[in-house]
Amino acid sequence: MSCLIVYASRNGSTEKCALNLHEKLDDSVILNLEECSPPLSEFNTIIIGSCIRFGKIHKLAREFINTNLDILLQKKVAIFICCGMQEQVEDHFKLNFPPALLEHAMAAVSLGGEFPDHPGKRLDAFVLRQVRKNFSKEKKPLPHIDEDKIDALARTVCNP
Ligand SMILES: Cc1cc2nc3c(=O)[nH]c(=O)nc-3n(C[C@H](O)[C@H](O)[C@H](O)COP(=O)(O)O)c2cc1C
């Protein structure tokens, strides 16, 4: 089998992007890291997707990368994140991924993001309300999933 897409999402936008990529990539397998930790040896290409919360990738994505770093460096790898603040994307990558993996990856991109209507915990809802207010005050458009970037990532993975 050729391509494995693993992802960790809190409110669903990373999952939407992973599913969209899965539809575009023939012969790909998709796995939610909350459900299992996959055997990597069967795959040539690994795509890793994570949400960002308070500047950090999902704990399960971090654990997956730390546990499998040596094997990931021997595979074709692409990384995507979903986040709200596109101006922070460079920092999100720098602060969350091992430099060797970033250098090795054929792509490391943000696919955009969405602010959830119901983020779960009270603190999250409170923080999100403040963030939404700031977006509105600064007349910034709310984040959205960028279909063009998903297409571009799928093309990069097919033609590295
Ligand atoms: C509580 C909370 C904290 C967030 N913190 C950040 C952040 O630090 N930087 C950022 O760019 N986006 C941040 N976001 C926006 C998320 O990254 C965005 O909603 C993303 O689409 C979430 O992916 P998911 O739906 O797969 O969980 C935050 C969202 C929430 C609800």
CA angle 21, 24, 28 (to 5 degrees): 75
Which tokens in the block code for residue 78?
């692409």
Q: For all residues of the chain together, what is the average pLDDT?
A: 95
Helix extents (H) in 5-98: 13-24, 59-72, 89-96
CA of 55 to the centre of ligand 1 (A): 8
What span, in angstroms and rounded, lies between the C-alpha atoms of 150 and 148?
5
Position 77 pLDDT exceeds 90: yes
Ligand 1 pocket at CB < 6 A: 9-14, 51-55, 82-85, 88, 113-116, 119, 124, 127-128
pLDDT the model gives residue 40:
93
Position 1 pLDDT exceeds 70: no
At a CB cut-off of 8 Å and minimum separation 6, what does 106 contact? 76, 77, 78, 156, 157, 160
- Cα 77 off chain centre by: 13
CA of 75 to the centre of ligand 1 (A): 28
Nearest to 36 by CA among 78, 13, 7: 7
Mean pLDDT of the region 16-21: 98
